């Protein structure tokens, strides 16, 4: 393989203080940095804002639009175009980075690029602190203990499957809860789990909100970046 390197960099949950030293050191050596944008006319992103102060002044920043929809062909085409550009940069001997909030291996856009590029160029992945780990620690809320499994679920999955997990498992992380927020709250309340559930919006950001009482919580109260933790063995 060529001498260039592609770095997938997890930048944590919302604050520059949560960026690891390894991530910060890697950001400083990049020739090119790709930042994801949810809209075509955006130059910046949440991940980009977190790590601005770590970027070398000589680093070229490339903002690229990653569609947030379910048109499979459109998504594949967009990912392939960006992956081709990254591949070319790396094969020219550049140190190229891509930043993502949280950890690159947990529900990350970076995974789509990794699938395309894993056998084509040199790749190093830098871990980041996920929202659920940040929330658990900051609120002294244990995630899992003993022999129990930790179940991490996207709340966008089938409602019946969600209901089964919530009913039968002790330790659960619910991510991507915004879209189906009312359904999720109803499921938690129907199982009488409000006393052992914690909801947090915008973890570690300036506008972070912690909700220890979710019975009257409504979708309009929370942000897109909201995670819910459930531990049936731990009362709030």
Query: What is the structure's pLDDT at 77?
Result: 87
Query: What is the structure's pLDDT at 38?
Result: 66
Burial class (CB in 10 A: 0-12, 13-18, 19+), 207: exposed
Right CATH for 5-126 from 3.40.50.2300, 3.40.50.720, 1.10.275.10, 3.40.1010.10: 3.40.1010.10
The pair of structure tokens assigned to 201 is 């919006």
Query: What is the structure's pLDDT at 107?
Result: 92
CB 223 within 8 A of CB 194: no
The pair of structure tokens assigned to 44 is 């910046």
CB atoms within 10 A of CB 104: 23
Right CATH for 131-231 from 3.40.50.720, 1.10.3720.10, 3.10.450.50, 3.30.950.10: 3.30.950.10
Query: What is the structure's pLDDT at 3?
Result: 81
The string of DSSP codes covering 1-47 is --S-EEEEEE-BSS-GGGS-HHHHHHHHT-SEEEEEESSTT----HH
Q: pLDDT in tens for each of the 236 residues of the chain?
A: 568 999 999 999 888 999 999 999 999 999 999 998 866 554 557 888 889 899 999 999 999 988 766 557 777 888 999 999 999 999 999 999 999 999 999 999 899 999 999 999 999 999 999 999 999 999 999 999 999 999 999 999 999 999 999 999 999 999 999 989 999 999 999 999 999 999 999 988 889 999 999 998 999 999 988 999 999 999 99
Query: What is the structure's pLDDT at 71?
Result: 57
Query: What is the structure's pLDDT at 178?
Result: 92
Query: What is the structure's pLDDT at 68?
Result: 66
Residue 195 is classified by DSSP as G
Query: What is the structure's pLDDT at 41?
Result: 52
Question: In sequence order, which residues have a C-beta less than 8 Å from that of residue 198 and are 6 or more positions away?
Answer: 135, 139, 141, 210, 211, 212, 228, 229, 230, 236
Query: What is the structure's pLDDT at 40?
Result: 54
The domain ranges of the chain are 5-126, 131-231
Give the Cα separation of 139 and 211 in Å (integer): 11
Query: What is the structure's pLDDT at 46?
Result: 81
Query: What is the structure's pLDDT at 44?
Result: 56
């Amino acid at each position: 393989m060529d001498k260039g390197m592609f770095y997938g960099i997890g930048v944590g949950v919302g604050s520059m203080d949560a960026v690891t030293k390894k991530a910060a050191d890697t950001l400083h050596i990049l020739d090119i940095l790709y930042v994801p944008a949810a809209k075509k006319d955006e130059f910046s992103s949440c991940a980009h804002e977190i790590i601005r102060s770590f970027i070398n002044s000589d680093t070229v920043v490339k903002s690229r639009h990653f569609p947030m929809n379910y048109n499979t062909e459109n998504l594949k085409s967009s990912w392939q175009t960006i992956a081709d550009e990254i591949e070319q940069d790396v094969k020219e001997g550049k140190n190229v980075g891509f930043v993502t909030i949280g950890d690159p291996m947990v529900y990350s856009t970076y995974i789509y690029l990794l699938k395309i590029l894993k056998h084509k160029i040199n790749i190093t992945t830098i871990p980041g602190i996920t929202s659920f780990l940040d929330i658990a620690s900051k609120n002294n809320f244990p995630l899992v203990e003993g022999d129990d499994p930790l179940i991490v679920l996207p709340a966008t999955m089938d409602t019946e499957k969600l209901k089964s997990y919530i009913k039968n498992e002790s330790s659960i992380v619910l991510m991507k809860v915004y879209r189906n927020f009312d359904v999720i709250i109803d499921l938690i309340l129907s199982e009488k789990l409000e006393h052992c559930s914690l909801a947090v919006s915008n973890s570690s950001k300036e506008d972070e909100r912690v909700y220890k009482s979710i019975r009257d919580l409504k979708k309009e109260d929370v942000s897109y970046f909201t995670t819910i933790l459930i531990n049936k063995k731990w009362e709030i």
